[in-house]
Structure 1
């Protein structure tokens, strides 16, 4: 009888301890939820993507080329800001042969929806294209046609006000401002954990002068070599159909780049 009583008491103590542990765990879960509610959701990361390329030759030929591309994204709840910039510079025996750069800003709302309002602002300079500068801005719509993980396809269309500063041909520059429409495709295929295929294409056209249109295309493959570092190979086509008569319409660029992807958590 005494042993049975001792065994029963021990079982009762074990059950009491288990119940106390369960109560403590439940209280801890409640406390975690209260703390999370007080602190709020974790901010979205600042997504940064940088591509750098540099080539220099000496000897029989003296050339140097530099390229830089940066893409930045930051979401604020349903609001998304995107900034893209790229620049290319080349010299051959001390003579400048390429000097082109472009910046584009985008605002999307609501970013969490498949369909979003978009506003675009772009500015370009290309010293050897026949256009001293190009400016364009206007509203549009963005559609997430296919969402990750394996494939991602974004389609975007904008109605724009455009202004081209055309290189001087008779002693003075010519300014051409007009309404235009732009369509853009942005496709990403995550082949596996290490490799990604990218295809970006855009078409911008003067709505009153259809032969005045611009096509940009970038095809790229990226391979990861470390946590934030990758190597990229890309082929870019920049086509201006209504370029000045003494200029080549198509610029083609082949690049091998070091890529840095860094996504810090920042609070604003």
Structure 2
């Protein structure tokens, strides 16, 4: 699955760039590449690939998102995350819409082998102007958590290995997508997501400032926060990432 998702991101980025000019597919979106490298007391390397695709067909809107992040500190792997998600929206009127969502995530540096969600609900376009766009959505679904095995101690202070398990539970998804266009070249966006489940609730937020360099290429600075309300023992609850990216729009 890891190799499949990574291939999906890479293929999507290449395919979108190669077909951007003719627009024959009807898909629009962006591909992004972020990289970082520091030297000194520690050496760190970070690489990120991202793909977002959208297609409108009458009252239907299809949205695909995929991402891959990899990092090393002093030659040791410190980040390895793959994500893919699909939204299908169906307009009810100018403001209100229904949606279905499927997502899957694998992250080598959390207490979860994988996390998946299948669900749907309703969304609402609060603002849809030239400068300000703001959409919210939410609804129920099924969340599937593959929890890793981990080592701990029992009441007698003896080492115990807690086996891996699969937890299926009622879940709910909620999201907010906000953007503000300052002018033709500079824009700000803030995307917030909540994925609730009994095992653990995930909260994410990504704030980004994007500046156009050419008609197709932009530079982006973003700050991401990811929080788990109840991570397994030995894992941090909050991760943050500051990124500088090149973005190709089509």
Tell me if both proteins adopt one fold, taking TM over 0.5 as the criterion: yes
Other-structure match for 2:48: 67
TM-score (structure 2 length as normaliser): 0.82
Distance 1:203 1:75 in 2: 25
Query: Are residues 1:199 and 2:190 paired?
Result: yes
Which of 180, 204, 214 is equivalent to 1:226? 214
Structure 2: gaps of 5 or more residues: 1-22, 151-160
* Map 1:65-214 → 2, pairs under 5 A: 65-110=46-91, 113-169=94-150, 170=161, 172-206=163-197, 209=198, 212-214=200-202
CA spacing shift, 1:44–1:188, aligned 2, 3 Å:
farther
Task: Note the aligned Cα RMSD (angstroms).
Answer: 2.0
Secondary structure, counterpart of 1:226 in structure 2: coil
Whether the 8 Å CA contact 1:159–1:182 is kept in 2: the answer is yes
TM-score (structure 1 length as normaliser): 0.76
Moved beyond 3 Å, runs of 4+: 42-45, 56-63
Structure (1 or 2) with the larger CA radius of gyration: 1
* Map 1:11-90 → 2, pairs under 5 A: 45-57=26-38, 61-90=42-71
Whether the 8 Å CA contact 1:233–1:256 is kept in 2: the answer is yes
- Higher helix proportion: 1
What whole-Å deviation, never above 9, does each CA across 1:182-228 have from its counterpart, x for those lacking one?
1100001011111101000011222xx4x831100000100011000
Deviation at 1:63, TM superposition (A): 3.2
Structure 1: gaps of 5 or more residues: 1-41, 263-268
